[in-house]
């Protein structure tokens, strides 16, 4: 899935277009599922298991195709949220960092999970964002089949576009089950990716502070 196709899965509209929207500037971020058909997914899951020689005739496996369909539908459907921002009245000009945000998604190459944590940081400009929304952004972008490199960049680009801070930094560390459970079976290995924008890319002191706080330069 390309970055363009991912963007097509979400529509963003100003909160004043929503009924009972909160006061003040906000963006309503809504995932467009693109027509999930659970019945078709359940049939396909049953055929997939049959093709692998796994019979679903027993009592314990009879409902497994339906469970598979619902599990993937849940994985691919994030919760809508309001991106609430506030004026930076005090002119705060230091880093804002949310560490160890849980990341869970599936590798688009094998449809196997990869899980880990994200460290998301921004250097405020005219506005600041509600801290919980940093986790919401990660969840929203991680909801589709992904590769870690793209996920890292998309989170950073999303913040840069919609918050317009002076800088953004994103570091993701994750374990990929397509590496640990199959193929090379590199148990215990993890992958680290980072994206730095604005002053976090061009200013050495800001970059070093961010990486030190995340432990990425240790």
- Let me know if 110 is a catalytic residue: yes
Determine which one of 3, 74, 108, 149 is catalytic: 108
Residue among 47, 74, 109, 149 flagged as catalytic: 109
The catalytic residue among 110, 160, 164, 209 is: 110
Please give the Cα distance from 18 to 35 (Å, whole number): 22
Cβ(110)–Cβ(182) below 8 Å: yes
Active site residue 20: no
107 is catalytic: yes
Exactly one of 107, 143, 146, 173 is catalytic; which is it? 107
Scored b (16 or more CB within 10 A) or e, 170-203 reads: bbbbbbbebbbeeeeeeeeeeeebbbbbbbbeee
Q: Give yes or no: 176 in active site.
A: yes
Are 125 and 199 in contact by the 8 Å Cβ rule? The answer is: no
Residue 148 bears catalytic tag = yes
Catalytic annotation, pick one of 121, 146, 148, 173: 148
Angle (CA) 26 32 35, round 5°: 160
* 108 has catalytic annotation: yes
Would you name the residues annotated as active-site residues? 107-110, 148, 176, 178
């Amino acid at each position: 899935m390309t970055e363009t196709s991912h963007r097509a899965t979400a529509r963003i509209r100003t909160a004043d277009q929503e009924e009972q929207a909160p006061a003040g500037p906000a963006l309503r971020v809504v995932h467009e599922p693109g027509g999930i058909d659970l019945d078709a997914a359940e049939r396909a899951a049953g055929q997939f298991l049959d093709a692998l020689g796994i019979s679903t005739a027993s009592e314990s496996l009879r409902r497994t195709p339906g469970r598979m369909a619902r599990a993937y539908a849940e994985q691919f459907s994030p919760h809508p949220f309001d991106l609430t921002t506030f004026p930076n009245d005090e002119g705060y000009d230091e880093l804002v960092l949310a560490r160890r945000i849980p990341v869970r998604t599936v590798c688009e190459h094998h449809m196997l999970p990869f899980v880990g944590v994200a460290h998301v940081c921004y250097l405020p400009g005219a506005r600041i964002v509600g801290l919980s929304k940093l986790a919401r952004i990660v969840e929203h972008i991680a909801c589709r089949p992904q590769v870690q490199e793209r996920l890292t960049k998309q989170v950073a680009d999303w913040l840069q576009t919609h918050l317009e801070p002076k800088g953004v930094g994103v570091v993701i560390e994750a374990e990929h089950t397509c590496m640990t459970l199959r193929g090379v079976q590199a148990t215990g290995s993890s992958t680290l990716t980072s994206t730095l924008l604005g002053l976090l890319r061009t200013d050495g002191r800001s970059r070093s502070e961010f990486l030190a706080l995340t432990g990425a330069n240790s």
